[in-house]
Structure 1
């Protein structure tokens, strides 16, 4: 019986949804908060999740992002149920990782069709990832090892997002870190620009929130140095300032900042812009990982041509769960077979070399035999016989000559 995680904070709606789903034969796991839904999904592993967006602790968008960031729950399809029917709400939901969207009030026939569709896709995916039965008659090289499902669910590393908060005002910095921490982000504090530059060169971050007006090294200089460093130029930066002048905003954007926030912070706007920047970085990381995988596959092809194929080079690409990973697994299997054939050819060459040594021994033995007295005598007799035959002598003459030679 399929298990459906129902995330809805309104008790009346939750009970109504539960009864309709149970009448259809589903087992319903209810949750009334986003954090509770994340924990329940990890513990119970439902087959599908119905997600409301307006939740009291973390909203449905954030809950969806957390579920998709966890390898344990990432494969579970999420259908958003919301009265927010705007294009922006839908775009944010799909950007967070949901698979489908149903507007409230719910069209039950359409919802049940979507549930059946995503449950069927889940069964197909599970069957595709199931290990095949071993073939007792197979003698070829084994296929490339299939990576664990958790590794194949994503194309780049997924984990808690690290945000560097650069702010010289202690109260503002602590407040900002507290708000971000409540959303599940890991924060690191820097009290000035110099500390910020040291921090980003010491450890990786997903985002920098940087104040502009600071002592020693201001926000502009931090931004300039980040964008001038090839290793850090792709790190997204949101500039923060009490300056509410268009010229300052334009200057920051032109220098490479992803966004600009005015003080005092609007919590909703803060989280929306942070999530938007992190979404862009995630897509950029996926693109970089894809290009690196293509480069590894190209390099592997070059090594195959040179007879120097190294299976370890393709290991990260083989672990991908997308079409490129499938291509890499096929290529890896074929390259291993080519490598095995070339090894057999090398073994054959060594065997032929050994045969040449035996032929040399035969030649020496032939030379020894032909140098013997018996062989020389036989050779003289053969020469006389050929000479007499060419002259057509009588049989009597040949007999006499042969007796003389004896």
Structure 2
């Protein structure tokens, strides 16, 4: 789907010109003639990228940009300031207001379109993460947008790849006041350095003596460990075609020599802010996935995850002719714990019980809270005899040491009953195996509790 570009300018002729340029490249174009109208359209999520003029009567472009970037609903929308202002101080002011780029009129079609395409690709990635992260707010995870608004873009780790001493020393000196800087003068080693360094930004000179800087940028984008690492290219004034190519292969931003120190600082902050925002989105998505498959009280996997994962393990056991065993565990007389000592004490017992289970099994074993005080342990490549040994060891571990409750104010003796079943191979299914283990657990309960019973089948 083509990105929708919002063109904001109070001069109709300028709007028509940009609209024609963008439409010719098959972008969907929306227009606004003042800042208030633009803010409202962005709030309604009617655009993917904003091309913003500065000199407007009701509200200048710097203020529009600041408002967009300070609003959690519009913070993620890329903003490109397109203006006749051409002083370095103007560019810095725009970048500090939160703009993703600052283009000076007259803007060449190639530069404009390549920049819009680059930002639209990045926006699509961000939108996918934002969509996946939406549910995290509903389950209590802090919004990444609110953190992003307060992000300064400072205290980053930056790798400079440059083989000209006079160049990298000036860049490093400028950035050292706000960031930790590493310098790599050998481009051939830069890839390994970037992969191992946990950097927030990579600055690459496109004027390397015996190495193509764009090839290095392409390699960074192709490697999984560095795919999300922002790249800031430094180019000579006559390198426009290479810069356009760089944006196409994944360079995030660029500077033209001679490098203005304030603009360098501003662009570096912008890229680090974006990276940290994207990382927060990914962390939120991961947290929501973990919450969906994890029992919140015990930290073990939940029943939904177990049922899905158990099916895959059974298929694997059948195809490889390997054993698979399952334990169904139930805490004896758990209802009386809640009735006598309260649900907080019951929760203390469940948490400690889960911890003892986890310590008693292997990393490849799967421990889940099946519901209430019932737990399941799935043991790949384990036959019934070994499973019985593990179950008996776990039973003794639980019964031998009292459980602390109410912050250590009290102690309870807890026992459990365990039923065991083994997967019967092709023709068997996990539901039947779980049922056999549950029936064995029932016999353990019937025969006096605090014991291990294996399925007789």
**Same-fold call, TM > 0.5?**
no
Q: Which has the higher strand share?
A: 2
Which structure has the bigger radius of gyration? 1
TM-score by length of 2: 0.37
Q: Which has the higher helix share?
A: 1
